[in-house]
Amino acid sequence: MPHTKRRRLVTTAVAVSLGATALAACGSEDDSKADSGPVSLTYWTWTPGMDKVVDLWNKGPGKKDGITVTVKKQASGDTLVTKILTAHKAKKAPDLVQAEYQALPTLVSNDALADISGEVGDIEGKFAEGVWQQTMLGTDAVYAVPQDIGPMMFYYREDLFEKYGLKVPTTWEQFAETARRLKEKAPDKDLTTFSANDSGLFAGLAQQAGAKWWTTSGDRWKVGIDDAATRKVAGFWGGLVKEGVIDDQPMYTPSWNKALNTGKQIAWVSAVWAPGTLTTAAPDTKGKWAMAPLPQWSLDQDVTGSWGGSSTAVTTDSAHQEAAAEFAAWLNTDHDALNALAKEGGIYPASTSAQLSGAFSHPPAFFANQPDFYSKAADIAKTTAPSAWGPNVNVAYTSFKDAFGAAAKNKSDFTAALRTMQDDTVADLKKQGFEVSR
């Protein structure tokens, strides 16, 4: 079966849809005018409080242009991608969807997302290059407007670092040294943990090291999960786990919360949204944390990865793609919209001008002790490495959880687990009918 079905690669999908829009543009000059009547759009999103932000649109610019948007709140994650694709199969996908960056290739290779480069091309300058590039997937098309980003950072307990005489590591080598020194001084404590449950974290760390997991050449995909950069990252963390100087328990569990709250773990490699997580996970440690840039692989480097973040995309099923793109652009670049998004939804905006204004002129309440939190964050965000996602990130992530989970438990070789992850991902791509180059 699989060999009879040959899925279109992103690039070919683009060629086809470009051709289609060109044709549509020739034949139906009047159709776009028919669009000027009242338009009603539906929007699937998981951001809390999005309905309030959309109200601003419906009462302001939307009212003027006769475009009304209705929010239908969804649960986030891979399951939403499946839901969008199922709806798309019945040609019933909503006009607008929220999608994580790593889900874009999956959606595009299923022809679910419309190319909106004509409508939103002029706002490119409002975003960091590495962020905008994630919505283009290596083509000339634009498949989404960046909404929020998750530049990675290093969080540590300022008080406990002082207590144990530890310095904030600026390189990963120092990071390992810090972990060892802490073990010597307080054997019952760990610097942090390596969580085999959080594929996104590992992907971000690999991205920082320069890994490009999915790339295209011609009409073939190339999977580089088992490349030198990722092997370096896997070997580093595997070594620390094997040495026993960091914990190997998963994150986001009650016992992890407890470890953070009681100071058993005193640092966390995370992203800009960490204050929100810490607020619920470790409520007793308010004001005791500080944020620093991620440790680097070499001193002359200044680069970070991303963990999380999402975009607003227009679907091919939408009858009003132009209006939908107009809304997507407003939502993610308008000053008032972004301010409301930050306040209601707690997002960290992708738009660079919003990263220092409004809601971000004060540090998060949990980090009141670090007044320059957001100006530091904005500087770090600028150093985000480009990422390279492919059409089966979910498969790679599942394989990561299985292989690295087992390796962390047995304290065995992480590079072997990495090979498993690579093989699983390539096998799945082939099974889906993509051409894969070695």
Residues that bind another protein (CB under 8 A): 42, 44, 46-48, 72-77, 79, 83, 86-87, 89-92, 94, 148, 150, 200, 254, 257-258, 261-262, 271-273, 276-277, 279-281, 283-284, 307-310, 345-348
Closest CB to another protein among 273 and 404? 273
Tokens 């776009």 — which residue? 32
Closest CB to another protein among 285 and 432? 285
Least distance in angstroms from the C-beta of 235 to another protein: 26
H or E, element range at 374: helix 373-382
Least distance in angstroms from the C-beta of 254 to another protein: 5
Closest CB to another protein among 235 and 345? 345
Closest CB to another protein among 148 and 247? 148
Residues in the chain: 438
Least distance in angstroms from the C-beta of 360 to another protein: 13
Least distance in angstroms from the C-beta of 364 to another protein: 11
The separation between CA 90 and the C-alpha centre of its own chain, rounded to angstroms, equals: 28
Amino acid at 222: K
Sign (positive or negative) of CA dihedral 389, 192, 275, 401: positive
Least distance in angstroms from the C-beta of 308 to another protein: 4
What is the Cα–Cα distance from 324 to 119, expressed in whole angstroms?
10
Nearest to 209 by CA among 416, 386, 329: 386
DSSP 300: T
Tokens found for residue 363: 């540090």
424, 417 in Cβ contact below 8 A?
no
What is the Cα–Cα distance from 225 to 395, expressed in whole angstroms?
12
Tokens found for residue 291: 């944020």
Closest CB to another protein among 84 and 426? 84
H or E, element range at 149: strand 145-157
Q: How many CB atoms lie within 10 A of CB 371?
A: 11
Least distance in angstroms from the C-beta of 137 to another protein: 21
Closest CB to another protein among 118 and 250? 250
Least distance in angstroms from the C-beta of 71 to another protein: 9
Closest CB to another protein among 310 and 420? 310
Closest CB to another protein among 26 and 90? 90
What is the Cα–Cα distance from 322 to 129, expressed in whole angstroms?
24
Instruction: Write out 359-404 in H/E/C secondary structure.
Output: HHHCCCHHHCCCCCHHHHHHHHHHCECCCCCCCCHHHHHHHHHHHH
Nearest to 237 by CA among 195, 186, 298: 195
Least distance in angstroms from the C-beta of 233 to another protein: 20
